[in-house]
């Protein structure tokens, strides 16, 4: 995932929250589309406060690039399992 500065000190918590947001973004963007989704809706879908999105220095464009990486990782993981 993209490395972005954050005010949260725990790297483990930051990664957990970003994963949570990425999965929520997949759901939200598939329902409403990328351009019609708001950060408030994304935070609600992820089950975290709207302020945490800003604490994590998250915005939709970083989320979209992270999703592309996540889809790539899932695709390659699934392809490896099929090939074995």
Domain that holds residue 75: 11-83
Tell me, yes or no, whether 62 lies in a domain.
yes
Residue 16 belongs to some domain of the structure: yes
Residue linked to tokens 């949260």: 8
pTM for this entry = 0.62
More confident call, 71 vs 37: 37
pLDDT digits (tens, 9 = 90+) for 62-83: 666 777 777 777 777 777 878 7
Structural domain includes residue 31: yes
Q: Which residues, in sequence order, are CB contacts of 3 under 8 Å at separation 6+?
A: none
Contact between 42 and 21 under an 8 Å Cβ cutoff? The reply is yes
Taking Cα atoms as reference points, which of 30, 24, 23 lies closest to residue 43?
A: 24
d(C-alpha 79, C-alpha 22), whole Å: 21
Instruction: List the CATH number of the domain containing 68.
Output: 1.10.10.60
The domain tally of the chain equals: 1
pLDDT digits (tens, 9 = 90+) for 38-62: 888 988 999 988 887 776 656 555 6
Residue 28 lies in a domain: yes
Residue bearing tokens 């996540």: 70
What mean pLDDT comes out for the span 29-36? Answer: 88
* Residue 29 is assigned to a structural domain of this protein: yes
- What's the rounded Cα separation, in Å, for the pair 75 and 8? 30
Task: Please check the confidence at residue 2 and state whether its pLDDT lies above 80.
Answer: no
Predicted local confidence at residue 47, as pLDDT: 92
């Amino acid at each position: 995932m993209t490395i972005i500065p954050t005010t949260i000190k725990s790297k483990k918590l930051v990664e957990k929250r970003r994963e949570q947001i990425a999965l929520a973004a997949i759901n939200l963007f598939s329902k409403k589309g990328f351009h019609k989704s708001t950060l408030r809706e994304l935070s609600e879908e992820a089950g975290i406060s709207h302020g945490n999105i800003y604490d994590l220095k998250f915005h939709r464009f970083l989320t979209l690039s992270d999703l592309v990486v996540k889809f790539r990782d899932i695709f390659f993981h699934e392809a490896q399992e099929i090939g074995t």
